[in-house]
């Protein structure tokens, strides 16, 4: 079966490239699963989403992806993230800390959009690292 060529890039660096059987990402319309020979798609990703790249025997690659786009054409999948972090690179203690701080400021001020964003991002990083949130 054909494979997908996947690239996860952020403005400052290329985070991961490789081959995969399936890519699952969360767009603003909902989760989207891409398998080989998928029709060309260009989607907007949600803030604080989790990207899952299924690689068969090698196991899944999980990353926290904050905003950005997914573009699929001719079995090339590019994830353009404003910021992204591989699950294996997440500092769980720091992410938990960030989540708690963000939740505390949300309780203090329900309108604090910045804190809501921070909370979403921290939660995505924890989920990417395999923690329950």
Could you list the residues that contact another protein (CB under 8 A)?
7, 9-14, 27-29, 32, 39-44, 68-69, 71, 73-74, 78, 80, 82
- Looking at the Cβ atoms of 21 and 47, the one nearer to another protein is 47
- Looking at the Cβ atoms of 28 and 104, the one nearer to another protein is 28
- Looking at the Cβ atoms of 42 and 92, the one nearer to another protein is 42
- Closest contact distance (angstroms) between CB of 7 and another protein is 7
- Looking at the Cβ atoms of 44 and 104, the one nearer to another protein is 44
- Closest contact distance (angstroms) between CB of 80 and another protein is 5
Helix then strand count (H, E) for the chain reads 2, 10
Q: Tell me the H-state helices in 1-133.
A: 92-108, 113-128
- Looking at the Cβ atoms of 13 and 59, the one nearer to another protein is 13
The secondary structure of the chain in percent helix, strand, coil, rounded to multiples of 5, reads 30, 45, 25
What are the beta bridge partners of residue 69? Answer: 44, 80
The Cα 15–Cα 84 span in angstroms is 8
Selection from 9, 4, 3 nearest residue 79 by Cα? 9
Neighbours of 112 (CB within 10 A): 15
- Closest contact distance (angstroms) between CB of 43 and another protein is 3
- Closest contact distance (angstroms) between CB of 37 and another protein is 12
- Closest contact distance (angstroms) between CB of 35 and another protein is 15
């Amino acid at each position: 079966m054909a494979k997908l060529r996947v690239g996860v890039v952020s403005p400052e660096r290329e985070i991961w490239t490789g081959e995969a059987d399936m890519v699952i990402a969360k767009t603003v319309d909902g989760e989207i699963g891409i398998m080989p020979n998928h029709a060309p798609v260009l989607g907007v990703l949600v803030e604080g989403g989790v990207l899952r790249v299924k690689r068969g025997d090698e196991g899944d690659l999980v990353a926290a992806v904050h905003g950005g786009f997914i573009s699929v054409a001719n079995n090339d999948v590019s994830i353009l993230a404003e910021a992204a972090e591989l699950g294996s690179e997440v500092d769980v203690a720091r992410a938990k800390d960030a989540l708690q701080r963000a939740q505390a400021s949300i309780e203090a001020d329900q309108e604090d959009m910045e804190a809501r964003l921070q909370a979403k991002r921290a939660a995505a990083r924890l989920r990417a690292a395999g923690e329950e949130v």
